[in-house]
Amino acid sequence: MTDSSDTGTRRFITWMSVALLVIAADQATKWAIIEWVQLYGKIPLNSFMNLTHQRNTGAAFSFLADAGGWQRWFFVVLATVVSGVIVGWLWQSRKQGAVLLMAGLGLVLGGAVGNLIDRARLGYVTDFIQVWFGSWAFPSFNVADAAISVGAALLIIDALFLSRSGPAVGVGR
């Protein structure tokens, strides 16, 4: 018979390991792109996807990319705080067994730290996946961005359909 604290600790370690795998995959793919694809170069993979080498000094969709440099440290601090909150949330949730919640948190954490490493080390995030729909191109992204998006979707699904606590009604509930 296993102690519930052992089970909770194993869950926490499992989802922290998922975050570490996302970080490793993100950093490895970004390294490969920087090494093997010329800046702003493109390698077509098929009729709707390219590998490209882009630098994003802003946030999602290049938000604040032309802000003059202060945004680098703003995003570093923001990602550090959010990552700390997520680690605390994972720790608090470890005994609940909420797989979708913890998977979402692990993916978002890994993605946030993957992009945080780039931003702190390089001053920008390397993006390299470009998807086309006809003549429309989705903004380039990377493994960390994909993990954040999938993780956020899992968190939304958990909140809407699986969360054990109902919506808060009124202040102080």
Could you list the active site residues? 127, 145
Sheet holding 136-137, edge to edge: 42-44, 49-56, 125-133, 136-137
Taking Cα atoms as reference points, which of 81, 37, 80, 74 lies closest to residue 59? 74
Taking Cα atoms as reference points, which of 139, 110, 136, 116 lies closest to residue 127? 139
User: How far is CA 125 from each of CA 29, 35, 70, rounded to the nearest angstrom?
Assistant: 12, 15, 15
Going by their DSSP bridges, the two strands 42-44 and 49-56 should be labelled as antiparallel
Sign of the C-alpha dihedral computed for residues 127, 55, 113 and 33 taken in this order: positive
User: How far is CA 169 from each of CA 98, 166, 172, 173, rounded to the nearest angstrom?
Assistant: 23, 9, 8, 6
Structure tokens that stand for 52 in this block? 């490209």
